[in-house]
Chain A
Amino acid sequence: MSDWLGIGVGVLAACATYLLLCKNPSRRAVGIILFGIAINLLVFAMTGAEHSRAPLVAPGQEVPRAPFTDPLPQALVLTAIVIGFALQAFALVLITLTGPVDDAEQEAGEEQ
């Protein structure tokens, strides 16, 4: 599965990079979030995701039933998703506040 997943993640990263390099602040904002998703998926996929069984221990058991997916990258990615959200909020606000001046001026002109 990793080969197809790899291509999928590649497309995600390419789209995100393209958006990040655009001039339009809205596109950049979307790009940042997309890039975060791509990275999370990258970490998840790099450590092997072909087992498709969650690292959960059944009641009464001592260890998860093998084979199961690696719990460590999951813990990493889980916090990364939430932190990513907070940092994305920070970046988004920064982008819109410091976006190109002409954009903001055009917008102000339209509203008047």
Chain B
Amino acid sequence: MTIILAILLASAVLAAPVIHRLKAFGATILAIPMMVVVGFLLNEMPDVLAGKIEREVFANLPLLSAEIAFRLDGLGLLFSLLVCVIGALVLIYAGGYFSDKPSVLARFSSFAYLFAAAMIGLVVADDLLTLFISWELTSVCSFLLIGLKHDDSNARSGAMRALLVTGAGGVALLVGLLLLADIAGTTSISTLLERGDDVRSSSAYLFVLGLIAFAAFTKSAQAPFHYWLPGAMAAPGPISAFLHSATLVKAGVFLLARLHPVLGFRPEWNVLLGHVGAITLIVGATLAFAQNDLKRMLAYTTLAGLGTLVLLLGIGTEPALKAALLFVTVHALYKASLFLIVGYLEKRTGTRDVTQLGGLLSRTPIAFVAAILAALSMSGLPPLLGAISKELVYEAKLGAPEAPILLTIVGSLGNALVICCAIMVGLSPFFRRHKPPQLRQVPAVRLLLGPLILAALGMLLGILHDTTAAPILDAALTSVVSEPVTVEFTLDASPQLVSWLGKLTILAGLLAFAFRLKLLQLLAPVKVLDRLGPTALHDYALNGILGTGSFLSNIFSRDGIRQSLIWPLLLVSAIGAVLLMSGTENWNFPELDLNPLRALLLLLVVAGALGTVCAKSTYTAVTALGITGFGVGMLFLVLGGPDLAKTQVAVETLAVLLLLLVLGRKPIQPEASRLPMRIGRILIAVTVGMTFTLLIWSAAPDGNLSQLASELAQKSVPEGYGRNVVNVTLVDFRALDTMGEVFVLAIAAIGVTLLLGGVTKKNSDSSSSASQKTLIRSPILRAAARTIVPLLGLISLVLLVRGHHEPGGGFVGGLVASAAVLLHSFAFGYKGAGARIISGKIIAIGLAVVLTSGAIGLLAGGTFLEGMWLSGKVPAVGKLGTPLLFDAGVYLVVLGVSTKVLFGLLEREGDLS
């Protein structure tokens, strides 16, 4: 199974390049892998039929106590074959359908393969988690494919609706499957199927049934969740044929069939599925009957078909299950074929309105052959497969343990309407007297091959039923019934009754077709329900949710920084108030140790901060900020944080530059706000400041190191081979955190570039990006830079290399290196946008180095980012290992990010001089 999935996924990746190279013909080539998969499946068939099925475990997930496991049984084989046969034909068809739009075709083929992989993963999954993942993937693929024409708002809203409905079902499915796994004590489906009695006797049975049935109903478009399916018809023809008639919508039916051995055989199952299925059948058939648009009509008859399937599963007797499985096959073949034909007619004539089409028999005889075969199968006439299926369905309904007569009447009524639709699709466009519309040239071979083969398959399988379809169906039936339950089943109805019922239904269908317009008039009041229908409710609910969301977010986030800041600042103040009220006994004043140096630095820091508030010009404010920043750096140094001190000083240098670049020569205007406003501002500021003070006072430790800290310090040399505990923590013990932070840096740089992008585009033409830009013309600066720049570069490297043992490391090294680069640019000029691009490349290389150093640990049999060391020692550096490589990556990222940001700002501000 793994190889089949690998083929499909690889094709999904290769599809786009193939289409781009070969255009529309590529789609025909792309059908080959799908055929190969069909070959694989047929090769496995003898084993499956003999019941020799191996379970294949692809991956073990001990943390989730689940597996990625597959097992091809009869049911899986039936569905897989349907998916791949129809998939291959639809791909060829799509080559003709999208022949003038290669980019759409490329997307379609890629998504179609992804969908096929997900769908096959679903039907052969032998683990509940595997099943769930595949289930969700099919929803996602459906979303992507419905929205294939993403410039069409109908397609977008249809895709969104489908995703929301099936997504809600997915959530329910997850909970249901987890409950199921909990009850059965296993996630393996094959084991689960043997423990059906545990599940049925469990007190949570009703929850499980409800959740899983809900998931199945949303996916298989059962009333009242059916409304997403007609919306999905905004998708192009091939997609409707592949997903929304033949395969995807049967996933819910598959889920119910798969879990029938576990969840079935209880009256709740029969009641729930029986009612929902019957209602969907009637709703679908009635709505289909009222359509003029052929595609929508087919969509609604698909609802009727899905309703029939759920109804049959709900009856739950062996003949009913057999009828359901046969009908899955029949329906997929004729419905896909009809969808493809309608797509062809639309391409050919430009319309799919049944009142506009007519007289096409002589113009497109091949399409007619395919259409009539499919329509006959849909109506259940011999010798087509549909006839056998229909007989079985009647048998099943007549033999239902409960309400057989009612079920038969409902079923026959629905069938009559479906037959009427079959006539409208299969006969009306070809025979009705109507001026034939203008015909266009289309790639007919590719467009007609698929429908013809599918319709012919319906006939062949009907004639050769006993040797072809029956064995697979029997194998599938074995999977669904699982435990050989002896169903009390006696055929009350004679074969004659079944045959008469069939004839009667066809007569009713013909009558319905003849008197369609009159009947529609009778049905007209029903259309009022549209406004109150589930689609409208869905939209109301969605708008309600979005409205509530924006109402809530409007309370907390307003336009502008100040309004948005109020809430977090008030929260901080509240923390302060709590600390204040908790009393002074929790406060911890360590021994006063304020030597003159520390006092001086603290005074400097505070004075700088006050200076920023009082400053009247930007330069003053930035200078005052610089005093604070450098003061804090010094403070770090005297308080035992040399690494922090170096980093703080380097950042402060760059921050001053940054501020000057951003703020430029803007004056600071005096605040024009009124006095109460200003007092309020001061009050908030003082409260926040007080909170900070109280936090420090109440949190200061009693002088003993935490266990974590002493552990880090003890492990640093023996396990991290570094004497600088801070650096070892950063690049080895907590390297994953550091990696995350490095990525944040890169993202911030991207953000700045994007923000500035809009600004720079305007002036990029005038100040040409290729030429050398000079910023400051100063011989003194140049002379100084000639010596200082290489020196800085060297220092940055020294900081990087020795960082593992002495204060230093990749962060501060990168900052110093970027200072060197910037000094060079200021003195000698730089190459406009080119410099930014180089910075971007440096970031990318840095990230790659970081990831590589992590991957080495993984490849060497350890975990990701685990430190791996060479045995020897290098003088002046010590042992060599991946943490040092990691630090080098950090160095590059920091260098790239700070230069990218500052070059971007330089470009925006132009020359500083």
Contacts and interface: CB of A to CB of B under 8 A. Distances in A.
A56 B726 CA distance: 8
Contacts of B629: 33, 37
Nearest to B690: A10
B681 A21 contact: yes
B561 interface: yes
A11 B599 CA distance: 15
B297 interface: no
A95 B63 CA distance: 45
Given A68-B640, A72-B709, A86 B662 contact: no
Interface residues of B, number: 112
A107 B748 CA distance: 28
A16 B752 CA distance: 23
A48 B700 contact: yes
Interface residues of A, number: 87
A21 B689 contact: no
Contacts of A81: 644, 647-648, 651, 811
B590 A93 contact: no
B437 interface: no
A61 B805 CA distance: 12
B642 interface: yes
A15 B605 CA distance: 12
A26 B691 CA distance: 25
B875 interface: no
A23 B697 contact: no
Contacts of A38: 692
Contacts of B730: 75, 78-79
Interface string A24-52: 11111111011001101110111111111
Contacts of B673: 23
B602 A5 contact: yes
B708 to A, nearest CB: 6
Interface in B553-590: 561-562, 565, 569, 588-590
B693 A57 contact: no
A54 B654 CA distance: 25
A69 B640 contact: yes
A86 B621 contact: no
Residue of B621, B682, B718 contacting most chain A CB atoms (<10 Å) = B621
Contacts of B745: 82-83, 86
Given A9-B692, A13-B689, A17-B688, A72 B708 contact: yes
Contacts of A28: 561
B696 A18 contact: no
Contacts of A69: 639-641
A50 B741 contact: no
Interface string B601-620: 01001100110110100100
B725 A64 contact: yes
A37 B811 CA distance: 17
Given A11-B610, A55-B726, A81-B647, A42 B692 contact: yes
Contacts of B714: 62-63
B658 to A, nearest CB: 6
Interface of B: 561-562, 565, 569, 588-594, 598-599, 602, 605-606, 609-610, 612-613, 615, 618, 621-622, 625, 628-629, 632, 635-636, 638-644, 647-648, 651, 654-655, 658-659, 662-663, 666, 668-669, 671-673, 681-682, 684-686, 688-697, 699-701, 703, 705-706, 708-709, 712-714, 716-718, 723-726, 729-730, 734, 737-738, 741, 744-745, 748-749, 751-752, 755-756, 759, 805-807, 809, 811, 815, 894, 897-898, 901-902, 905
Interface of A: 1-31, 33-34, 37-38, 40-42, 44-59, 61-64, 67-72, 74-75, 77-79, 81-90, 92-97, 103, 107
6 contacts: A1-B598, A8-B606, A10-B696, A29-B663, A54-B642, A90-B755
